Structure 1
């Protein structure tokens, strides 16, 4: 029975999670996207799993993305993912090349825990950037597929020995999004209109009079 199926049977209807609620991970498990919150599309899961399977085969580095709905009792996400890491990977040898990425959807929280050998390749500041910049922003907008895809791309690059591509550039919304029909203009003051008519009524007769005088 798969890990995901066991969790579904054990926690049907559950919203919040504690580490104790989650099943153990078997040493030979090669499930790379464990979507307990059910927010990841099948296409994203397939693409991510293929990339992470290739990474594991070529480098030995294993990355898992885990989604839950929310963390019980306001527990810090970093503490939750550390406890889950220790629960799933018992020995130092099992932990060494592991990376565990937690995404709590209703809490809008992301945390990453890495093993000792991964720490030599993936600096803590890059891991923190992946969580707080690459994944958190789309997660806050409920774009969980983008969060997982962007996080996976950075992790695969760095753990493959390539340069860190960095966090995506977030473009601020501008007035270009405003449609012409939505642009409001200030109405012309009625007093200005009346004033214009009065000036015209005074100037035009004077100009006409002087013109006739010059003609004669």
Structure 2
């Protein structure tokens, strides 16, 4: 944790002064996607009821980056918005679509947005970097639906602020075009890459303070006492060894560290991720710090043989696995805990369930490791069963949406992404 803190706050101090060239590049990119000097999106709509589809709960056909079923947008404004969205996708790879409908019927704006997002398949399949801005004008509801890959860039709190500050005030004055244009400006600003910063400095290879009991014992015991307490293996007839009930010598178990130690290491990296996101540090700096924090553990313990009894092959395997499992993974969890209320809710449910299962297992005289191994085995079996049951559904369901895309006015089609459930809603 000390090494991670040194790297994080050191990287912040180094990266603070941005170079003029990086600022100029970011400014030029922002100008490319921002509202033109003379925007066509200035028309004020008449206060009237807008047309509603026969089945308002169903997702309308994808007509392009801008789909207006109400006719409230002028042709010039729709063309301008389409060009800006196309430029945004070309430079950043982000798929953003705008949808205006009269009503969502019996569905809430959240349910309707998720249905449209998943049917249009916004964003790339492996990245899920799509975003949908949908407004139901008769219902006076609006939502920004964010794909999972963009939840770190456009968290729920940012989406809500854009709705409150950019969309709602304009929509109340029937300036639908201006509200959408201003919201697109704000979203583009949030998605712009950060200014070019100085190269990150590697963290000093300092040892961790949080050592387990085996390490402390080995470090505090003199070499002579260690040799006397753990003599080299001898023949069974010479005595001095422990035996099993069948008369065979008992094999010494490798010391892989206590569950408490690895749990605390993971918690430390979760806290590292939360602090990094709170301080608005670059994600790569936080992940590098978490990787180094976890990588120091097997490196420091290798000379004294505190893990795996000094087995070099096992230590090399741990050096490859531990930084990802106990470092990068928990750090990513901490970042998303800070950004997404949905992740916090899921983590609380999963953590509480695991705690109850482990507590029940301990009452039945099972170790924590045995309980966790059993849970992992059950999850693997369930995953295989689920894959067998749903293997043919995804391919068949994707064909109808693909047949719709050629009719799009600007040849826009989804990249196979799906909604992560993030975003924000509002009313005016």
Report how far residue 36 of structure 1 moved.
1.0
Q: Measure, in 2, the Cα distance between the counterparts of 1:112 and 1:153.
A: 14
Partner of 1:120: 152
Relative to structure 1, the CA distance from residue 92 to residue 46 in structure 2 (aligned partners, 3 Å threshold; closer, same or farther) is: closer
Query: What CA deviation, in whole Å up to 9, does each residue of 1:143-172 have, x standing for no partner?
Result: 110111111111111122369xxxxxxxxx
Partner of 1:41: 74
- Alpha-carbon distance between aligned partners in 2 of 1:91 and 1:145, rounded to the nearest angstrom: 24
Q: How has the CA–CA distance of structure 1 residues 135 and 91 changed in structure 2, closer, same or farther, with 3 Å as cutoff? A: closer
More strand by share: 1
1:15 Cα deviation after fit: 4.8
Say if 2:131 and 2:146, in contact at 8 Å, map to a contact too.
yes
Deviates more, 1:153-162 or 1:84-93: 84-93
Question: How far, CA to CA, are the matches of 1:138 and 1:54 in structure 2?
Answer: 25
Q: Residues 1-216 of structure 1 correspond to what in structure 2 (within 5 A)?
A: 14-15=52-53, 17-20=55-58, 22-23=60-61, 25=62, 31-73=64-106, 75-89=107-121, 93=125, 96-161=128-193
Is the alpha carbon distance of 1:147 and 1:90 closer, same or farther for their aligned partners in structure 2, counting shifts above 3 Å? closer
> Aligned-pair distance for 1:22?
1.7
Q: Which moved more, 1:89-98 or 1:119-128?
A: 89-98
Distance 1:38 1:138 in 2: 18
How many residues are aligned here? Answer: 145
The Cα of 1:94 is off from its aligned counterpart by: 6.8
Report the aligned-residue RMSD: 2.5
2:364 corresponds to which residue? none
CA-CA distance at 1:91 after TM superposition: 9.1
Stretches of 4+ moved more than 3 A in 1? 13-17
* 2:124–2:130 contact (8 Å) kept in structure 1: no
- Report the Cα distance in structure 1 between the residues aligned to 2:113 and 2:123, rounded to whole angstroms: 16
CA shift in 2, pair 1:158/1:90, >3 Å: closer
The superposition leaves residues 105-155 of structure 1 with CA deviations (integer Å, 9 ceiling, x where unpaired) of 111211011111111211211111222331122112221101111111111
With structure 2 as the length reference, what TM-score do the two structures score? Answer: 0.31
Further displaced range: 83-92 or 140-149: 83-92
Deviations 1:71-125 (A, max 9, x none): 202x321221112112211897177110001011111211011111111211211
How far, CA to CA, are the matches of 2:105 and 2:175 in structure 1?
22
In our comparison, the structure showing a higher alpha carbon Rg is 1
Higher relative contact order (CA 8 A, sep 6+): 2
Specify whether residues 91 and 47 from structure 1 end up closer, same or farther in structure 2 by C-alpha distance, changes over 3 A only.
closer
Partner of 2:151: helix, strand, or coil? helix
Q: 1:90 to 1:139 in 2, by over 3 A?
A: closer
User: Which shows bigger deviation, 83-92 or 150-159?
Assistant: 83-92
